[in-house]
A and B are shown apart, each in its own frame.
Chain A
Amino acid sequence: MNQFLIIVKGSDHSVASQEKMQKRLERFGEWVQKVLNGRFVAGAPLEDTDARLLKSKTEVLTDGPFLESKEMISGYIVISANDIEEATELTKKCPLLDEFQLELRRMKPMAQ
């Protein structure tokens, strides 16, 4: 069993209404319950505020948005799946895909 990281690209967290967010979490919850069905490992949505981009030890960008909102990451999810094909099928059904791009990456397993 492998673990995969899903990166949610794009964010509307600073502008979306509370109602919209709630609806999103509800659909997300259904996906976790019915599609992932025990394969959800961890994850969190991310705040748009309190962000820093550290380009080097001296160059720290504080005044967001320092990225286009399309490029901002608004959350991450870790799931478990046998392989990238299965992980892709599971992720295709994620309701966040209606609004955002999702980047799927296999996590390097810990050395045996």
Chain B
Amino acid sequence: MSSSPGSVQALVDHLFRHEAGRMVAILTRLFGIHNLELAEDILQDTLHQALKDWGQGPIPDNPSGWLMVVAKRKAINAVRRERLHRSFAKDMDALLKSEWTAAYTMDQVFLEDEIKDSQLRMIFTCCHPALPMEGQLALTLKTLCGFSIPEIAAALLTTESNINKRLYRVREKIRNEEIPFTVPAGQLLLKRLDAVLLVIYLLFNEGYNSSGDNAVIRQDLCLEAMRLAVLLTEKAVTNTYQPVYALLALLCFHSARFDARMDTNNSLIVLEEQDRSRWNRELISQGLQFLSQSTGGNQVTAYHLEAAIAAEHCLAPDFPSTNWTRIHNYYTELEKLKPSSVIRLNLAIVTGKTDGPHAALRLLHNLEQNRALDNYYLLDASLGEFYQQLGKKEEAGTYFRRAQQLTRSTAIREVLEKKIARL
């Protein structure tokens, strides 16, 4: 492999995203969550050494392995340096501080299966319900997904200083409330697992639907959310919980359409006009596999219903042959389970397919009067759409223009611009 500075930087960036979460999880397992900063320092240090060494000499055959070996060596040094004035993880402290057991303990924690165990602990810690949701999202991206501060800011559509503040507050809260670095057990496990699923769901949605202009970051967000969900299926404590598979199925179906949603100018293509041959068949069949693994229990969650809806879209050979009746039923169930204005909005749109534009407009105007979706462009865009179907160009134009003013996404504004032009 050649090692021009650019390619080294690119390789390190790529590897870093993949290895950072694993390394921080292991180091936190050793040092304890109260020493999260020490873990992150070692990670940064390892990265700098990779940039330096690989820039000068040949790139190692197994770069991931190299990073792990270096991180481990730095961890051993940190233990030697800090052993007299720091306490490490409660169940590791004595073992790391004795020459009898230090090396063995270190080796054990770096074993593949233990790494997954540490990552699982990290997921449950980052998604602890005692932490504010925005803090959970930022911390998950930082520690589990290896996002830098500017990347988190881009992903969550806020400023770097805001992200720094959120991370500072959330770390302080972990210390003050003594949030443990453990996987909960018993009844608590399922409740906490629901909190984890919610964070994964929100991260994915942020990537999939956000109005951010950084397409690379948004795709990375989706991939990372999927990776975390897959991790939950790999460990015995979490892989019997069926909603995990329902969520994963949902993420697969959405991801399958990721590329087909964008044209060459990075503009959004609506479902109706997407080239279905560009949908990723492999992801769809994986999604169906997960969906079948998610059923059989007595629990139907919102993830099950949303996955079922997405599956209907993925399985329809073309837009007109979509089974709208079945989708309508799923949305009706979903609305009962998780009553929200956004779901009522979707239900109204689907009603337009099953019962015609008049029925849809009735529901949409009800929503408009509720005012809960006052600033949501999709309500106005939908009203415009159905007025257009009835040939009422003036009303349609008014709503499309209002929708345009409500969205920050250039891609969506362009879609609306096209619709106005076609009136």
CA distance A57 to B37 in the complex (A): 48
Contact in complex: A42, B104 (CB < 8 Å): no
Most chain A Cβ neighbours within 10 Å, of B103, B104, B105: B104
Q: Fill in one digit per residue for A10-40: 1 if any B CB lies within 8 Å of its CB, else 0.
A: 0000000000000001101110110000101
- A77 within 8 A of partner (CB): yes
Contact in complex: A42, B105 (CB < 8 Å): no
Contact in complex: A29, B98 (CB < 8 Å): no
| Option from B91, B103, B108 in Cβ contact (under 8 Å) with A25 | B103
Interface size range on A against B: 10 to 19
- B271 within 8 A of partner (CB): no
- B94 within 8 A of partner (CB): yes
Contact in complex: A29, B101 (CB < 8 Å): yes
Q: Fill in one digit per residue for B72-89: 1 if any A CB lies within 8 Å of its CB, else 0.
A: 000000000000000000
CA distance A44 to B91 in the complex (A): 18
Contact in complex: B99, A32 (CB < 8 Å): no
- B95 within 8 A of partner (CB): yes
Contact in complex: B91, A75 (CB < 8 Å): no
- A41 within 8 A of partner (CB): yes
Contact in complex: B103, A40 (CB < 8 Å): no
What distance in Å separates the Cβ of A105 from its nearest Cβ neighbour in chain B? Answer: 18
What distance in Å separates the Cβ of A33 from its nearest Cβ neighbour in chain B? Answer: 7
CA distance A32 to B92 in the complex (A): 12
CA distance A30 to B103 in the complex (A): 12
Q: Assuming the A-B contacts A25-B104, A28-B104, A29-B105, are A42 and B94 also in contact, with contact meaning beta carbons closer than 8 angstroms in the complex?
A: yes
| Option from A29, A33, A40, A75 in Cβ contact (under 8 Å) with B94 | A40
Contact in complex: B95, A32 (CB < 8 Å): yes
- A43 within 8 A of partner (CB): yes
Contact in complex: A43, B91 (CB < 8 Å): no
Question: What residues of A have a CB within 8 angstroms of the CB of B98 in the complex?
Answer: 40, 42-44
Question: What residues of B have a CB within 8 angstroms of the CB of A75 in the complex?
Answer: 100
Contact in complex: A32, B104 (CB < 8 Å): yes
The residue of chain B having its C-beta at the shortest distance from the C-beta of A40 within the complex is: B94
What distance in Å separates the Cβ of B84 from its nearest Cβ neighbour in chain A? Answer: 14
- B18 within 8 A of partner (CB): no
CA distance A29 to B97 in the complex (A): 13
The residue of chain A having its C-beta at the shortest distance from the C-beta of B108 within the complex is: A33
Most chain B Cβ neighbours within 10 Å, of A29, A32, A42, A77: A29
CA distance A38 to B98 in the complex (A): 14
Contact in complex: B91, A77 (CB < 8 Å): no
Contact in complex: A41, B100 (CB < 8 Å): no
Chain B interface (Cβ < 8 Å from any Cβ of A): 91, 94-95, 97-101, 103-105, 107-108
Q: What are 20 contact pairs spanning A and B, CB under 8 A?
A: A25-B103, A26-B104, A28-B100, A28-B104, A29-B101, A29-B103, A29-B105, A29-B108, A32-B100, A32-B104, A33-B108, A38-B91, A40-B94, A40-B101, A42-B94, A42-B98, A43-B100, A44-B98, A45-B99, A75-B100
